[in-house]
Every structure is written in C-alpha cells, then in structure tokens.
C-alpha cells in the first residue's frame, strides 16, 4: 500500500512537471515571446494614456488656478 501511494505521488508530480514544462516551452517559442511582448506593449500604452489624461487634467486645473490668482482672462484655444 505504501509503495502504491508513492507511485501515485510520482505520477502526479510527473504530470505537473510535464504540463508546466509545456507551458514554459510555449512561452519561450517565438510566437509565445511575441504574444508576451504584445501584451506588455498594450499595458504600457494603457498606462501612458492614463498618465497623459491625468497630466492634462492637472495642468488645466493649475492653469485655471493661476489665471484666477493673477486675474488673467481665460483664452479660447
């Protein structure tokens, strides 16, 4: 009974190692690397868009504060 238990543990570990190995192998193929680069590029573009939006809003807010402080009329650009 003890030997059967260890045999099943070995089989389960082998299955896990093989599945993880296939996943890692797929990630390291040219198609897998291209997919990862594409995902990271999309994340970077989204983060940059968020940053630009936040920056523009803060800039407009600060400009309005300065115009009010210095009594400068707003321009229509």
Could you tell me the mean pLDDT of each successive run of 10 residues in the chain, 77 residues long?
94 97 94 95 98 98 94 80
User: Would you state the pLDDT for residue 13?
Assistant: 97
Buried b (16+ CB within 10 A) or exposed e, 18-52: eeeeeeeeeeeeeeeeeeeeeeeeeeeeeeeeeee
Q: How far apart are CA 32 and CA 24, in angstroms?
A: 9
Q: Tell me the percentage of the chain whose pLDDT exceeds 70.
A: 97
Helix (H, G, I), strand (E, B) or coil at 51: helix
The boundaries of the domain holding residue 18 are: 2-70
Model-level pTM? 0.58
Number of structural domains the chain divides into: 1
8 found inside a domain: yes
76 found inside a domain: no
User: Would you state the pLDDT for residue 40?
Assistant: 97
User: Would you state the pLDDT for residue 19?
Assistant: 97
């Amino acid at each position: 009974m003890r030997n059967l238990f260890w045999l099943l543990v070995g089989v389960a570990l082998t299955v896990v190692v093989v599945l993880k190995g296939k996943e890692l192998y797929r990630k390291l193929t040219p198609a897998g690397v291209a997919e990862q680069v594409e995902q990271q590029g999309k994340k970077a573009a989204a983060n940059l868009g968020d940053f630009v939006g936040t920056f523009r809003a803060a800039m407009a807010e600060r400009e309005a504060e300065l115009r009010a402080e210095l009594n400068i009329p707003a321009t229509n650009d």
